[in-house]
Structure 1
Amino acid sequence: MAILAQFDLVKPRFSKDDPRMEGFYSSTQYVNGLAERHPGFIWRESNEDQKRLDELWGEGYLYTLSLWKDPEALKDFLYRTPHDEFRRRGPEWFLPLRGPRVVLWWVDNNHFPTLEEAHEKMTLLYEIGPSLQAFDLKSSTLPAVIY
């Protein structure tokens, strides 16, 4: 059985100790708790590897790497829980990115994705667009076509 891997990349507008970021950093534990209590949530990487993230994307980024039952469960968490309020505030805290900032892909239910895997999937999404190997929230409900 396959489950959904999700990777979200953001670049903060300001340093962590800047008062304008306080709303984001003070809510992180609360929002992570919302996710972890959601019925569609499976796993979230909690030992974030900032050094490896910097090597793959450059300095200054933050990320979330998680597993969900399916796209509908992830969308329910993102848009129909208090998380949505924080999501809408994203432009206050984060710079727009040139490419995609979220990538989704299917993994076996006993697989835990890595930053390297997320980088590969994000690169695929950026270079060729949504596919069976890497897609985004908008394309997660499109019918699968195999050529």
Structure 2
Amino acid sequence: MPHLALYTFGVLKSPLTDPGPLTRELYERGEAVYRKISQHPGYLAHAEAAEGDRGALFDADWGAWGEFAVPTWYGKGRTVETTALAATLSLWTDLHPPFDAIYSGLHREALNRRYDWFERTGHPNYVLWWVGDDVIPTWQEGVSRLERLRDHGSAPDAFTFHHPFAPEGTATRTNGIGPKSDA
């Protein structure tokens, strides 16, 4: 049974090490959101650095998730002191669990405040794709698929909740996810 990979990427207004209240609040909310999402039905796993150091994204050991990578449009720092991004890579059982986890509860509340923390880049901030049940997606794969989504739009190998595809590659709409039919 295939699993759904989800890569998210956002450019922060301030570096992760900024001691200001907005960055502290982002961390606090982020930690609470991760705790809640990791208990959500259908959640399987997410990339975690072995060391767990804040801001050490580029130098961290990500194990099977591969070397940390970012889209070509990210132009801010890459050191612990200058990194200004938030990225996640996770695995789910299918389309509904991440949709529900993202667009309800604590994460929905955080989304409502996203422009307090994140820049508006004009680029997609997430991408979905199907993987085999024994496959762990890599950061580089997430970046490649996000860039493909930006360049070519939704397709079976890089799509969004608004234009989803089934594991076999057909466009789909399932219980409120996907474009409405004209019927």
The TM-score, its normalising length taken from structure 1, stands at 0.88
Q: Which residue of 2 aligns with 1:9?
A: 9
| Alpha carbons 1:13, 1:94 under 8 Å: kept | yes
| Alpha carbons 1:3, 1:109 under 8 Å: kept | yes
Q: Deviations over 1:22-51 (max 9, x none)?
A: 211112221111111001101110117722
Shift of 1:127: 1.1
For residues 46 and 30 of structure 1, the distance between their equivalents in structure 2, rounded to whole angstroms, comes to: 16
Shift of 1:141: 6.1
| Alpha carbons 1:42, 1:69 under 8 Å: kept | yes
Q: Which residue of 1 aligns with 2:45?
A: 43
Counterpart among 25, 28, 35 of residue 26 in structure 1: 28
For residues 141 and 117 of structure 1, the distance between their equivalents in structure 2, rounded to whole angstroms, comes to: 18
- Structure number with larger C-alpha Rg: 2
| Alpha carbons 2:70, 2:140 under 8 Å: kept | no
Q: How is 1:1-147 mapped onto 2 (pairs within 5 angstroms)?
A: 1-16=1-16, 17-47=19-49, 50-51=57-58, 52-53=68-69, 57-58=74-75, 59=77, 60-140=84-164, 144=170
| Alpha carbons 1:54, 1:61 under 8 Å: kept | no
Cα separation, partners in 2 of 1:104 and 1:26, compared to 1, 3 Å: same
For residues 117 and 87 of structure 1, the distance between their equivalents in structure 2, rounded to whole angstroms, comes to: 25
For residues 129 and 54 of structure 1, the distance between their equivalents in structure 2, rounded to whole angstroms, comes to: 19
Q: Which amino acid aligns with 1:132?
A: P
For residues 141 and 10 of structure 1, the distance between their equivalents in structure 2, rounded to whole angstroms, comes to: 23
Give the aligned length.
Answer: 145
For residues 140 and 71 of structure 1, the distance between their equivalents in structure 2, rounded to whole angstroms, comes to: 8
Q: Percent identity?
A: 25
Q: Which amino acid aligns with 2:86?
A: L
| Alpha carbons 2:10, 2:87 under 8 Å: kept | yes
Superposed CA RMSD: 2.2
The TM-score, its normalising length taken from structure 2, stands at 0.72
Q: Which amino acid aligns with 2:156?
A: L
Q: Is the helix fraction higher in 1 or 2? A: 1
Q: Note the residue ranges of structure 1 that are not aligned, 5 or more in a row.
A: none
SS where residue 147 of structure 2 aligns? Answer: helix
